[in-house]
Amino acid sequence: MSAPRTQPIALECHHSTPGSVSTPTWHRLRDALLALIDSLGNNRKRPCRLPAEREMIARFSTTRITLRDALTQLEGEGRIYRENRRGWFIAPSRLHYDLLAGLAFHDMVESQQRQASTLLLSASTVPAPLHIARRLWLSEGSAVQRIVRVRAIDGRRVLYVEHHLRPDCFPGILDFDLAQHSLTALYRHEYSIRIARVDYELGSTIFGGPAGEALHATPGTAAQRITRINRDQNGRVVDCDDEYWRHDAIELALSAVPRGG
Amino acid sequence: MSAPRTQPIALECHHSTPGSVSTPTWHRLRDALLALIDSLGNNRKRPCRLPAEREMIARFSTTRITLRDALTQLEGEGRIYRENRRGWFIAPSRLHYDLLAGLAFHDMVESQQRQASTLLLSASTVPAPLHIARRLWLSEGSAVQRIVRVRAIDGRRVLYVEHHLRPDCFPGILDFDLAQHSLTALYRHEYSIRIARVDYELGSTIFGGPAGEALHATPGTAAQRITRINRDQNGRVVDCDDEYWRHDAIELALSAVPRGG
DNA sequence: GCAGTTTTCTGATCTAGACCAACTGGCCAT
DNA sequence: ATGGCCAGTTGGTCTAGATCAGAAAACTGC
């Protein structure tokens, strides 16, 4: 605990110029919260929780809704995040995710001096839904292997992934320890399949349903969707992923030669 | 105007199973709003506005805050968007943005049967801020050409871009009609410079400041940031962009060979 | 017509709570 | 040590407004 001050703090009202419009309360609150965040320090290893909402209300002499506006603002900026019904936390710095580096999750995370962990939610053979069947060049309802995992950085759950594999490519892959092994490593070493081309599709959405629950994300918070379709050295589609990231957890990067060059 | 019904509508309360938890009001409201959106039709050419908030409150017999929760939800999903103090609108379908296609904005938009337009906000030579100087391999404060534009699809402002160019690469480029010409076309035809490599950096943020104002975006709404650094055929950095998109306006895509292959 | 002005409408912001369900932590029994 | 139970805490959800400032529409005068 750092300097516990229970004294209410009056929000300063800065006017950039005397005649200008006054800053909205939530904006001043936002700055006050930033100061609070700084004062709490940002040691990455342990999730650093903000005080309870009602305590912050008292401390800043404001209402729940205004406080929430300010918190939501900072959440959108990626400075803080929220765990459903558990509170607000200071967001660690973003993971640098190079889409074309071809690194497995654990390698990527550990190369940035962070600790990675994976939780296997399910691994089974299921009938392919239409959109999955289309991606994998299969007919709707034909069998596909489905692997659902949750991945965490320094203990914080940041990614929910669903993989769908063509079963003719990877017979028996579900029997491996999928929480420990990288899928691409298994592809290469057990099936001699290398990922030679990737098609990405990126879009923003919100959490809700299984992805939100698995990450303890409050329904409605921003999510980064990353869909990828992998092809092997023969150009054959072998699997696809649907990734849902906490939006504040990553920063995407890539370097390539554009076609119109 | 479609079927104008001023009768309040009772939100149905569906319980999936008798013993289960009831769906929150905002979630049922969300579904009702989706139905409303469908009933309004989604003709792409004209921005289709939802009724005023107070009217929707009356129609659905709810409160402002609950309505806003539902609207915010749909906004996050990209189904609707908001113009600051102007109302809520049905979101057109997303523009498919292939990061590596090397297409200029107008070509990209028109190839998808949409109409593109560009507004030039400013074009001048300014001292380079530190982060720009670093990207362009210049020293802080040295002169760079700065071009700020707003781009619209079918009349809807969706993108705010700031370009910073190395002045030694493009002398006199600010004298061209920058609202009509594609920068990359000018590079190629007037300066014989082709973009041979692009470094992208993608992240989610929120609107605020000049970008938000230029797009009429309410401060705090989600934005997709795309930063790119362009190199010419000799590997020399020639310029960089900072793009801020309305998050619901685009879907990013790319296809490439990963390095770890 | 057209430009400047006024009015109206509308979303943005804020107040002051209440109630509920999920989560947490402590206590107790096995 | 482990697991279940209980109560307090806390965030999620919702009610019922008020006020303000920007945007759009209506209006006015040249």
C-alpha to C-alpha distance for B147 and B132, rounded to whole angstroms: 13
Mean pLDDT, chain B, whole residue set: 89
Question: Is residue B63 a contact partner of residue B29, using CB atoms and an 8 Å limit?
Answer: no
Record the pTM: 0.91
Q: Does B247 share its domain with B179?
A: yes
Q: Does A124 share its domain with A160?
A: yes
pLDDT of residue B181: 85
Contacting residues of B for A201, CB less than 8 Å apart = 251-253
Nearest-nucleotide field for A56 (CA, C1'):
D10
pLDDT of residue A38: 87
Judged by a CB distance cut-off of 8 A, whether residue A255 touches chain B is yes
Domain assignment present for B15? no
Contacting residues of A for B103, CB less than 8 Å apart = 260
Q: Does A71 share its domain with A33?
A: yes
Number of domains in chain A: 2
Residues 6+ apart with CB under 8 A from B124: B145, B146, B174
C-alpha to C-alpha distance for B174 and B147, rounded to whole angstroms: 8
For A71-100, what is the mean pLDDT?
95
pLDDT of residue B5: 40
Domain assignment present for A199? yes
Q: Which residue has the higher pLDDT, A6 or A191?
A: A191
In Å, what is the CA distance from B87 to each residue of A15, A17, A27, B81, B84?
28, 30, 22, 9, 7
Nearest-nucleotide field for A67 (CA, C1'):
C14
pLDDT of residue A46: 72
- DSSP assignment letter at B49: B
CA B65 → C1' D15, Å?
9
pLDDT of residue B198: 97
Domain assignment present for A10? no
Partner B, chain A 206-235, Cβ-Cβ below 8 Å: 206, 220-222, 224, 233
C-alpha to C-alpha distance for B105 and B199, rounded to whole angstroms: 18
Residue ending a domain, among B90, B107, B123, is B90
Q: Does B215 share its domain with B178?
A: yes
C-alpha to C-alpha distance for A184 and A103, rounded to whole angstroms: 9
| Whether pLDDT at A14 is above 60 | no
pLDDT of residue A8: 52
CB contact under 8 A, B204 and A222: yes
Q: Does B118 share its domain with B80?
A: no
pLDDT of residue B47: 78
For A238-256, what is the mean pLDDT?
97
Confidence category of residue A187, pLDDT binned at 50, 70, 90:
very high
Range of the domain at B65: 25-90
Q: Does B75 share its domain with B129?
A: no
C-alpha to C-alpha distance for B23 and A31, rounded to whole angstroms: 35
| Whether pLDDT at A260 is above 80 | no
pLDDT of residue A55: 93
Domain assignment present for A175? yes
Domain assignment present for B18? no
pLDDT of residue A261: 57
In B52-181 the beta strands, taken as DSSP E runs, fall at 80-83, 87-90, 95-98, 116-127, 143-153, 156-165
pLDDT of residue B44: 59
CB contact under 8 A, B73 and A220: yes
**Among the ranges given (A97-106, A139-148, A178-187, B2-11), the one the predictor scored with the smallest mean pLDDT:** B2-11
Domain assignment present for A57? yes
| Ranges of chain B with pLDDT below 50 | 1-6, 13-21
pLDDT of residue A13: 46
Residue A80: give its domain's CATH number: 1.10.10.10
Q: Does A135 share its domain with A200?
A: yes
pLDDT of residue B187: 96
Confidence category of residue A25, pLDDT binned at 50, 70, 90:
confident
Q: Which residue is nearest to nucleotide C12 (CA to C1')?
A: B85
Protein residue ranges contacting nucleic strand D, Cβ under 7 Å: A 21, 52-55, 64-65, 68, 82, 84-88, 218-220; B 24-26, 62-66, 69, 84-86, 216
C-alpha to C-alpha distance for A153 and B169, rounded to whole angstroms: 43
